[in-house]
């Protein structure tokens, strides 16, 4: 396991706050209120370790298969339905949405090998990630990937806690399945918009792993 580069600043700030709070606590409270000092240390240590774990990148063998669309993120499948995409395709697509809790790994992975046709950031609201309107009204970043067999849209969506979406892809770029697509900080969701006729291989409420679980085949 390693720590993702997106976490270096957040972890440094968390370390400073952790040290500051506990220095003040031990110097001013330990003699008169030792129980409070212990509680503060335990709580701040838990939060510090949690922030470190949020930016973890586990070692995995990415699934590389030209006939598979792999999951772009860790989490739980919360939507499988037919929708009309108003942003890029302007026709019907199969939407598969994966919700990421704050405890999940938040690195986002390219689900296929292909060319980046479209990459656009949208300002928006911060509805809870499982809200039906979060796909179209929340802050989000959409990318369209295409190869000789399939064209898909991957949408990173901010939630009530996620205030920063990072996307690494630029139009015209060639990307590899299993490569880094981006990062969402502190819980959110990712939507996949797939062509009609794509065979979805996951079910509602199924837990999935980025770059490993097959979302669909084509």
Q: Which residues are catalytic?
A: 188
Closest CA to 71 of 169, 154, 187: 154
Category of 197 on φ-ψ map: left (φ > 0), alpha (ψ -120 to 50) or beta: left
Give the SS3 label for residue 98: strand
Q: What are the DSSP calls for 149-214, one per residue?
A: S-EEEEEEEE-SS--EEEE---TT-EE-TTSEEEEEESSEEEEEEE-TT-EE---TT-EE-TTTSE
CA–CA dist 47, 50 (Å, integer)? 5
């Amino acid at each position: 396991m390693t720590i993702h580069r997106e976490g270096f600043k957040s972890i440094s700030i968390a370390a400073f706050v952790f040290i500051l709070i506990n220095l003040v606590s031990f110097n001013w409270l330990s003699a008169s209120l030792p129980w409070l000092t212990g509680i503060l240390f335990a709580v701040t240590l838990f939060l510090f370790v949690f922030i470190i774990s949020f930016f973890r990148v586990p070692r995995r063998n990415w699934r590389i298969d030209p006939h598979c669309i792999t999951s772009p993120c860790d989490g739980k499948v919360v939507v499988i339905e037919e929708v009309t995409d108003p942003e890029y395709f302007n026709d019907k697509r199969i939407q598969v949405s994966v919700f990421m809790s704050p405890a999940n790994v938040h690195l986002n992975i390219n689900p296929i090998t292909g060319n980046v046709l479209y990459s656009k950031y949208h300002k928006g609201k911060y509805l809870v990630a499982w809200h039906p309107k979060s796909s179209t009204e929340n802050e989000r970043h959409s990318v369209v990937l295409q190869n000789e067999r399939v064209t898909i849209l991957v949408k990173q969506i901010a939630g009530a806690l996620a205030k920063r979406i990072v996307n690494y892809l630029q139009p015209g770029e060639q990307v590899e399945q299993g490569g880094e697509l981006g990062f969402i900080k502190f819980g959110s969701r990712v939507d996949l918009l797939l062509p009609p006729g794509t065979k979805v291989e996951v079910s509602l409420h199924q837990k999935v792993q980025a770059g490993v679980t097959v979302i669909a085949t084509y």
